[in-house]
Amino acid sequence: MESSDSLRYSKLVTFVIRNKCAACYRQFNRMEHLVEHMRTSYHSVHEPACGVCGKHSRSFESMREHLIGPLPKAECERIFKDRGCDICLGIFGSRNALRNHRESCQLSRGNGLFPRMANLGISNDMRIENNRSKVVALACKMVGGGSDGSLDLCARVCLTDECENIIFQAYVKPLLPVTNYRYETTGIRPEFLRDAMPVRQVSRKIQDFLCNGEPIWKIRSKGGRARILVGHGLDHDLKCLDMEYPAIIIRDTAEYPPLMKTSKLSNSLKYLTKAYLGYDIQNGIQDPYEDCVATMRLYMRMRSQNHEVEDYPLATDPQNRNNFAQWRQGELERMSPEEMLEISRSDYYCWCLDSRG
Ligand SMILES: [Zn+2]
Ligand SMILES: [Zn+2]
Ligand SMILES: [Zn+2]
Ligand SMILES: [Zn+2]
């Protein structure tokens, strides 16, 4: 290689490295394109990151693709195959460490599930008053209304605490006539609903419990008395219960970006439970208690992620003025990719922040 060629070559290398995103490793021909990418990608320490190469992904599912395929990164795949956990996607120091870890990572349906079902026969159980749990999971089962039975009507509801105890469960009497009991999945028969608690009463009871003495219009953040509500597809559940609750203290496993598909659509709770907890749910007749337990477990896993502590973690925090908005293009183009990542903030609320009080 002639010296001028090698000079050109080394210039080319610097050029490529300089324009590589420090989070997702995408490369850009021009620095201004990298800056544009950083302005819109909201990379942060809260994104799932590969335990081998450190690459950030928007979701665990895209990290799974990076590690397992269909088109994995060869080096990462090799190490992951050797000592990576296929449930949490963590990489461990040795195969032995992986074996020890996996025993606690892989959960089973039976884990404490059946002992606590002892009070299942009691409907309208009202031990709701003196529970101190700050975080509560909610799940409903729907029967069909309307002429073709396709309208979802809440007929059964369950509320659990962080320790998988049932706080409240009840059959619910819908406002409209039931035209399809969907028995194969709900297990609900007409006589179960005959004397059940009317839906309005159930909603009020649950809402009072969640607000925990705080007026609903006053709920601004997780810092107050109101309880954090965990669930899957809660928009639909709350709509069927005709109940409101502020989004700011809702943790929905169907809407949390790290648990969503790469296409930004929701995964089913059945899929998430299989993929991220390692067991099967919703086979045959479905119990809302089982859904509560699964969503709460997913929430706890996400909450316990060990992310770096940063000031003003959200792009929407006034101090960040919506990620880079206060920075001039020229200033950003002079920064290194690492420096840009350093000041970039997430566009969603990471649940690890709930563990920081
Ligand atoms: Zn990137
Ligand atoms: Zn986080
Ligand atoms: Zn990697
Ligand atoms: Zn694991």
Please give the pLDDT value at position 117. 43
Cα separation of 256 and 9, whole Å?
44
Question: CA 55 to CA 48: how far, in whole Å?
Answer: 8
Per-residue model confidence as pLDDT tens for the chain (357 residues)? 445 566 566 555 555 556 999 999 999 999 999 999 999 999 999 999 999 999 999 999 999 999 998 889 999 999 999 999 999 999 999 999 999 999 999 998 865 555 444 344 444 555 565 677 899 999 999 999 999 999 999 999 999 999 999 999 999 999 999 999 999 999 999 999 999 999 999 999 999 999 999 999 888 877 789 999 999 999 999 999 999 999 999 999 999 999 999 888 999 999 999 999 999 998 888 999 999 999 999 999 999 999 998 888 888 888 877 677 778 888 888 999 999 999 999 999 999 999 986
3-state secondary structure of 200: helix
Which-ligand-closest: CA of 276?
Answer: 4
pLDDT at 327: 81
Give all strands (DSSP E) within the chain, no chain letters.
135-145, 151-160, 166-173, 178-180, 197-198, 228-231, 250-252
Choose among 17, 18, 24: nearest CA to 40.
24
The first and second tokens of residue 284, run together, are 């045959």
Residue type at 157 in one-letter notation: V
163-176 b/e (C-beta count within 10 Å ≥ 16 → b): ebebbbbbbbbbee
Distance 92 CA to ligand 4 centre (A): 9
**Spacing, Cα 57 to ligand 3 middle (Å):** 10
Helical packing angle, 60-68 and 74-83, nearest 10°: 100
Give me the domains of the chain, ranges plus CATH numbers: 19-106+307-355 (no CATH), 130-304 (3.30.420.10)
Measured in Å, residue 44 CA sits from the centre of ligand 1 at: 10
Ligand 2 centroid to residue 146 C-alpha, Å: 43
Ligand of minimum distance to the alpha carbon of 39: 1
Helix (H, G, I), strand (E, B) or coil at 51: coil
Q: What is the pLDDT of residue 69?
A: 85
Ligand nearest to C-alpha 301 = 4
Q: How many CB atoms lie within 10 A of CB 222?
A: 18
- Closest ligand (CA of 345): 2
Q: What pLDDT score was predicted for residue 328?
A: 85
The predicted model scores a pTM of 0.90
Rounded CA-CA distance 193/179 in Å is: 13
Comparing C-alpha atoms, which of 152, 205, 148 is closest to residue 176? 152
Rounded to whole angstroms, the Cα distance separating 198 from 18 reads: 63
Rounded Cα distance, 37 and 341, in Å: 11
Distance 37 CA to ligand 1 centre (A): 7
pLDDT score of 322: 66
